[in-house]
Structure 1
Amino acid sequence: MFAMLPATVRYDRHAETARAAALQALALLGTAPEREFDALVALAAELLGCSTALLNLVDNDQLFVKARTTLGAMTFARGTAFCDRTVIDDQLTVIDDTLSDERFRDSPLVTDVGVRFYAGAPLRVADPDGIRRAVGTLCVVDTAPRTADPRELAALAHLATLAEALLEARRTALKAIHIATTGEELVTRLGRQDQIFRQAEQIAEIGSWRLSIAEGSLDWSDNVYRIHGLPVGQKPQLHDAMRFYPEHSRTYVQQSLDNAITKGQPFSIETDFITADGRLRRVRAMADPEIVDGRMVALVGVFQDVTQRYALEQQLRRSADTDSLTGIANRAAFDRELQAAMERARHNDTPLHLALIDLDGFKAINDTLGHGAGDDVLRLTGKALSEPWLMQSVAARIGGDEFAVIVEHPALTRDIAGLRDRLEDVLRVPVEVSGVTMTSAGSVGIASFDEDCQSLRDFARRADSILYAAKRGRVGTRDMEPVG
């Protein structure tokens, strides 16, 4: 992640100037977190098995952290960052053990903090001349040395490609809004290139628009009509345009417009949208005020169909929160859901129970029937914990053969003994390989939440103690496994 770079590193001044220009064009340095970048680093950490993943942007003298999976500083001096070397070399950088690398082993963050593994992929965008320059990295770090599997590094490279696509989409949108707000002089100067601009709009699925404040009328470019599913033609009125938004989005869009007009400020919104032929899409609208003689006369902006990017973002978020084998929540998602459930229980004084589950006999199945049979047990367990009778309780795989269920529904919390018995019943999973059948079962410990549970750890520890007692009661009937 971060360490002192050797003094022998030198920068190509021309390339560095062009690279800095490409980065500045993104207007991302020091900006607030954004969901799509947060989802990318979460997925990178999940796929490479590292707790810390970061998306970094490298400026002239500083490194800016745009997204990270763990708490920490959001800016660093550029000369102290592994990522600087990744940007300079413009290639995937992997350090299996920082203590074995003479360039970095004396770094304070190696000797004091304990960073032992680093893998980073460069993120490239086009500079003003159209040459792709590395402006940042998508990287993962660990406190233990390791040798990354080639498939993990390939996954990191693929995620870096997705990050580059998001950066390029932002660059295109910012460029489009700049073009849209330059006024009549720019329109005249670009008249000969009108056809090229229209083609670029279609490729980027972006159109430009202008809302006259005094008249309340709209002017759309051709591609805004296309996004709406309308033929290019009659100038639309604002109230007609609002009908394309679902009822749950319409108020939000109207309030955003009213606020921008009242305060004379830019705005950027993203929301659901329904085309003239009934297709559900996702759109983004951005606008700046047009000022004439010190008075705002219009809002001028761009309108973009971001359906594909939004679908990708949702897919990344689902992937980052889901255990790939069982299809239920992973540990990170479970921790967030349990924390939220505890806050609801405190605020609303509603019941909350946590069920911890440890699979009995799972190791024996793995050893006797093979890992394929073990995976079948885990998948079937995940399916059993997703059944409707659990009334939308949140189920998660929190370890190798450890599961948890967050129970809030009153119908379930009224009979905890019955809930435990039913869970143990559905967790009896038979598997058969080559005529040999073995059955996995589950020990269940269910703890209730009260004011003594000050933290997530307190609550989990209480449930773990109950689970351990349940397993001790089964000594002699099932193999005992450590409860962790």
Structure 2
Amino acid sequence: MHLQTDRQRSTIRPLTDGNLVAQAAALVGMSAWSCDLASEALEWTPGVFDIFGLDAGTRFERQDTVALYCEESREAMLRLRAGAIETPSAFSMEAQIRQPGGELRWMRLAARTRVENGRVVQLYGMKQDITQDRLRWEDLRRLAENDALTGLGNRARFQSEFLDLPEGSERLARIGALALFDLDDFKGINDRWGHAAGDTCIARFGQRLAETFPNAALVARIGGDEFAVALPATVRPAALEMAMRRRLGRLVTQVEWQETSIPIGFSAGLAFLTGSPEAAFAAADAALYRAKRSGRNALRVAA
């Protein structure tokens, strides 16, 4: 590698041109803001107005902008803000907001505190519009967690959102039962009409499952023709079983494929959560196989 001589080298000078700094920050969608804690007066650079969907001449107070944060983001921002003022310290987060026109946006928020005489007097920092980054991330997440054929959750999502939930967790407490479904004589469908017809039957059955159980915590395709539905813990087990039996008729129907009506049926196993997710899965799976041995369109409930 060629090294420059001392005469050729030059000192890197600090960048003090405020306009150039602002222009460079704008290239990556970054904008500055500050909040005076005594008066709660806000100061924004133009990019922050754009993120919130407000005109620079808009008359507003801080609570008006806080109201634009979506609930979960607002709670997190207020908690982090209070902690930074109390400590004092800095914080950063990603927040979702809803502009006055209704459009949802995502921003990255970074904040620091300015202290005078031992008191925090100002919060300041940067805000960056990351909406497109979030949309790309959501697309990647859907590809990773959703089954391409049905659009339902896949086996990996079933693992993370059900099987891996620890006992006693809040998320698991919201699930009352697990139902497993398996198409009857699916091999016969493939053998008679071909795999394209079989894929169509799987896709239609998955769609009907999602429509039949709209309040389910999760509907997933966990195998070739096997599905799982995590049912909410909103009613007693007996009532849940009755409601499920009433709905099962919606799943037994014909699938239209290339001017042919293909009949599809299923077997189902139901287990109520009384212990670990793995135990409920094993119980529902055993009930499913009892249903398959008993005939078409059958439901069995784990003892």
Is the partner of 1:387 in helix, strand or coil? helix
CA deviation vs aligned residue, 1:117-149 (integer Å, no higher than 9, x gap)? xxxxxxxxxxxxxxxxxxxxxxxxxxxxxxxxx
**1:398 CA displacement:** 0.8
Q: Distance in 2 between matches of 1:229 and 1:332?
A: 38
Q: Distance in 2 between matches of 1:351 and 1:227?
A: 38
**1:251 CA displacement:** 4.9
Matches within 5 A, 1:348-387: 352-387=176-211
Is the partner of 1:410 in helix, strand or coil? coil
Is the partner of 2:35 in helix, strand or coil? strand
CA 1:417/1:341 → structure 2, altered by over 3 Å: closer, same or farther? farther
Matches within 5 A, 1:172-187: none
CA 1:318/1:341 → structure 2, altered by over 3 Å: closer, same or farther? farther
Of the candidates 149, 174, 196, which is equivalent to residue 325 of structure 1? 149
Partner residue in 1 for 2:29: 205
**Is residue 316 from structure 1 mapped to residue 137 from structure 2 by the alignment?**
no
Q: Distance in 1 between matches of 2:75 and 2:86?
A: 16
Q: Distance in 2 between matches of 1:344 and 1:247?
A: 22
Partner residue in 1 for 2:291: 470
For the 8 Å contact 1:218–1:236, the answer to whether it is kept is no
Q: Distance in 1 between matches of 2:211 and 2:183?
A: 18
**1:234 CA displacement:** 9.0
CA 1:345/1:203 → structure 2, altered by over 3 Å: closer, same or farther? closer
Percent of aligned pairs with the same residue? 33
The two structures have a TM-score, normalised by structure 1, of 0.50
Is the partner of 1:352 in helix, strand or coil? strand
AA partner of residue 111 (structure 2): A
Of the candidates 16, 22, 43, which is equivalent to residue 190 of structure 1? 16
Is the partner of 2:198 in helix, strand or coil? helix
Q: Distance in 2 between matches of 1:344 and 1:413?
A: 24
For this pair of structures, how many residues does the alignment match? 285
Of the candidates 456, 459, 465, which is equivalent to residue 280 of structure 2? 459
**1:241 CA displacement:** 4.4
CA 1:443/1:299 → structure 2, altered by over 3 Å: closer, same or farther? same
Is the partner of 2:265 in helix, strand or coil? strand
Is the partner of 2:210 in helix, strand or coil? coil
For the 8 Å contact 1:283–1:305, the answer to whether it is kept is yes
**1:218 CA displacement:** 3.3
Matches within 5 A, 1:244-283: 244-245=68-69, 249-275=73-99, 277-283=101-107
Partner residue in 1 for 2:235: 410
**1:380 CA displacement:** 0.9
**1:426 CA displacement:** 3.4
Q: Which runs of 5+ in 2 are unaligned?
A: 4-12, 298-303
Partner residue in 1 for 2:131: 307
Matches within 5 A, 1:112-191: 189-191=15-17
**1:276 CA displacement:** 5.3
**1:343 CA displacement:** 4.0
Q: Which runs of 5+ in 1 are unaligned?
A: 1-11, 15-184, 479-484
Of the candidates 272, 284, 287, which is equivalent to residue 448 of structure 1? 272
AA partner of residue 468 (structure 1): Y
AA partner of residue 113 (structure 2): P
Of the candidates 244, 253, 265, which is equivalent to residue 419 of structure 1? 244
CA 1:430/1:293 → structure 2, altered by over 3 Å: closer, same or farther? same
Q: Distance in 2 between matches of 1:413 and 1:395?
A: 21
For the 8 Å contact 2:216–2:229, the answer to whether it is kept is no
**1:469 CA displacement:** 1.8
CA 1:363/1:343 → structure 2, altered by over 3 Å: closer, same or farther? farther
CA 1:262/1:421 → structure 2, altered by over 3 Å: closer, same or farther? closer
Partner residue in 2 for 1:338: 162
CA 1:256/1:439 → structure 2, altered by over 3 Å: closer, same or farther? same
AA partner of residue 286 (structure 2): S
Q: Distance in 1 between matches of 2:153 and 2:237?
A: 20
CA deviation vs aligned residue, 1:10-69 (integer Å, no higher than 9, x gap)? xx9x9xxxxxxxxxxxxxxxxxxxxxxxxxxxxxxxxxxxxxxxxxxxxxxxxxxxxxxx
Partner residue in 1 for 2:301: none
Q: Distance in 1 between matches of 2:179 and 2:65?
A: 50
Structure 1, 294-303 or 464-473: larger mean CA deviation: 294-303
Q: Distance in 1 between matches of 2:67 and 2:215?
A: 36
Root mean square deviation of aligned Cα: 3.8
AA partner of residue 16 (structure 2): L
CA 1:217/1:343 → structure 2, altered by over 3 Å: closer, same or farther? same
AA partner of residue 235 (structure 2): P
**1:267 CA displacement:** 0.9
**1:377 CA displacement:** 0.5
Q: Distance in 1 between matches of 2:267 and 2:281?
A: 15
Q: Distance in 2 between matches of 1:247 and 1:467?
A: 41
CA deviation vs aligned residue, 1:226-271 (integer Å, no higher than 9, x gap)? 3334444699764554354356654543343232122120111322
AA partner of residue 156 (structure 2): A
Matches within 5 A, 1:92-103: none
The two structures have a TM-score, normalised by structure 2, of 0.75
